[in-house]
Structure 1
Amino acid sequence: MQAAILPVRAGWQWIQDGARIFRLQPMPMFFWSLMTGFLITLAYMIPLLGQMALITAMPLLTFMSLCACRHIADGDPMLMPMWLEPLRNPDGRKRLIRLGLAYLACCLAGGFVATLPFMSNIMDAIGSGGPINELDLMKAVRGPFITFGLLYVVISALFWHAPALVGWHRIKLTQALFFSMVACWRNKLAFLVYGLSWGAVFLAVQLLGNLLTDLGMSPSLAQILLTPLNLIVAAILYCSFYPAYISVFGANYPTVK
């Protein structure tokens, strides 16, 4: 598949298009943002297994977001049963689960590769039975976090477009990963703008929370007031996945519902 090469400004355009999709039908995407946040919270309440299940389910959840955004962009009212449409096709469901397992394997491998060179420093910081020096431990894990962050950029490029390519185009898993990587590389500057723009948005929300607390508001009340805003921002983020995909592949390769 031939991925389109887009200008740098496309990264910001994807966010604008995502906001437009959200405005068309805000309540369904707000509901999806709420449910996704609930699933993330639930996963972190179950140590290790919960996180692994969440990572495995991520391509399927992404594909559900894409399908919802496609319905909304086409002018279809997003009804509750339509959220389960991506799960009804057994073949598509199996493909996405295999993609999720591959995603989990890549994340685990990335974590292992990032941690192994720094293992001796981490063990020294933990010590042998005595009290753990938190400052030394933070310094010891800084290297693995930075290394994994760099590796995760590559992992994200491999899997960014893969759910749509597997779910809509019925492309083999290895081919979908390859096409996704090539598409991200061809549009690396647009994705850089996209990532930096979202980073600025989330930073602005964080600074707004800090401002409210500096003005004398209790942290708990500030968190309550910012929760709807965080859900809206997350919903627009999910909506932006669809224009990011359709602008690269959709014009040349119309998908099948």
Structure 2
Amino acid sequence: MKLRIVPARTGMAWVRLGIQAFWRQPLALAALFFMAMAAMSLATMIPLVGRAVALALLPSATLAMMLAAAQAAQGRFPTPAVLLAALRNGRWRLRDMLTLGVMYAVGFLAVMGLSALVDGGQFAQVYLGGAQLTREMAEQPAFQGAMWLSMLLHLPLSLLFWHAPGLMHWHGVPPVKALFFSIVACVRNFGAFFVYGLGWTGVFLVGGMALTLVSALLGTEVASAIMLGTAMMLAAMFFTSVVFSFRDCFEPPSASAGAGGTLE
């Protein structure tokens, strides 16, 4: 495995490739994304540990979308079988993926815990879905401070786990090393990831403005349904693009590993 350094403009290519791959198989990729999110939502219903279990499933969901996007880019039809990719690659791969999920859940909850030191846990409760956001709450300096702190801390957490599922699946890298190589790749390719972030910010802003216009022209119920569907579609596109950043940041494996096949 060898790290690649790519020019900053590659970040925009990742955005474009993600959108193109999504529209090659829009129904399949949208359905897979919905199924992954639904599984995480169902996990939250488990008493006491539901939210932690849902967070632990995110690396597996990310890997599933990476596999599905790779297949769509190759002209293949991704099936729901990609959601079970970690189960089909041997007991040790499943163990490593579970370990990675637990590490992500612990890291995310640690971020929320640190933000709770600022505002007493109000932002954490809103973010995790346990409380409703009110205008008075949002205007509180402590709430805003907790929000910005969590955003600041979530960035390195995201970089640690960005490439980790792909490194474990395609390269057989163990969890801790996968986290290390992931953040190194992101830092060494900072320019590309900065442009990538700007590109997706632009996509979401354009989508938001279009939805605002639609909402002004249509009724509330119709607009709400369109907004929800569009938000899910944009999120699915974003997750579809992740595999292209992974492909360009690392030399391809010598042989395919698992259900995804090669990335090239």
The 1:107–1:136 alpha-carbon spacing in structure 2 relative to 1, beyond 3 Å, is closer
In 1, distance between residues paired with 2:138 and 2:25? 49
Report SS of the residue matched to 1:77.
coil
Aligned-pair CA distance for 1:186: 0.8
In 1, distance between residues paired with 2:159 and 2:98? 18
In 1, distance between residues paired with 2:194 and 2:5? 14
Q: Give the residue type in structure 1 aligned to 2:169.
A: G
Q: Give the residue type in structure 1 aligned to 2:60.
A: L
Normalised TM-score (structure 1): 0.83
Q: Which residue is equivalent to 2:96? A: 95
- CA offset digits 1:152-178 (Å, max 9, x no partner): 101011110001112221212111111
Max Rg structure: 1
Aligned-pair CA distance for 1:138: 3.2
Q: Which residue is equivalent to 1:134? A: 136
Q: Give the residue type in structure 1 aligned to 2:196.
A: Y
**1:189-208 counterparts in 2 under 5 A?**
189-208=191-210
The 1:49–1:198 alpha-carbon spacing in structure 2 relative to 1, beyond 3 Å, is farther
The 1:46–1:2 alpha-carbon spacing in structure 2 relative to 1, beyond 3 Å, is same
* 1:146 and 2:142 are equivalent in the alignment: no
Report SS of the residue matched to 2:243.
helix
Aligned-pair CA distance for 1:48: 6.9
* 1:65 and 2:61 are equivalent in the alignment: no
Report SS of the residue matched to 1:91.
helix
* 1:104 and 2:108 are equivalent in the alignment: no
Aligned-pair CA distance for 1:255: 4.7
Q: Which residue is equivalent to 2:126? A: none
Number of aligned pairs? 247
In 1, distance between residues paired with 2:121 and 2:164? 36
* 1:219 and 2:220 are equivalent in the alignment: yes
- CA offset digits 1:163-222 (Å, max 9, x no partner): 11122212121111110010000111211121222122222222222222333x222211
Q: Which residue is equivalent to 1:161? A: 163
Normalised TM-score (structure 2): 0.81
- C-alpha RMSD of the superposition: 2.9
In 1, distance between residues paired with 2:49 and 2:164? 24
In 1, distance between residues paired with 2:87 and 2:116? 36
Checking the alignment, whether the CA contact within 8 Å between 1:67 and 1:86 is kept in structure 2 is: no
Q: Which residue is equivalent to 2:117? A: 116
The 1:48–1:245 alpha-carbon spacing in structure 2 relative to 1, beyond 3 Å, is farther
In 1, distance between residues paired with 2:184 and 2:154? 16
Q: Which residue is equivalent to 2:10? A: 10
Checking the alignment, whether the CA contact within 8 Å between 2:115 and 2:121 is kept in structure 1 is: no
Q: Give the residue type in structure 2 aligned to 1:38.
A: A
The 1:239–1:180 alpha-carbon spacing in structure 2 relative to 1, beyond 3 Å, is same
Q: By percentage of residues, which structure has more helix?
A: 1
Checking the alignment, whether the CA contact within 8 Å between 1:121 and 1:140 is kept in structure 2 is: no
Q: Which residue is equivalent to 1:129? A: none
In 2, distance between residues paired with 1:226 and 1:136? 23
Checking the alignment, whether the CA contact within 8 Å between 1:95 and 1:167 is kept in structure 2 is: no
* 1:187 and 2:181 are equivalent in the alignment: no
In 1, distance between residues paired with 2:195 and 2:138? 35
Q: Give the residue type in structure 1 aligned to 2:112.
A: G
Aligned-pair CA distance for 1:2: 3.2
In 2, distance between residues paired with 1:26 and 1:144? 37
The 1:184–1:208 alpha-carbon spacing in structure 2 relative to 1, beyond 3 Å, is same
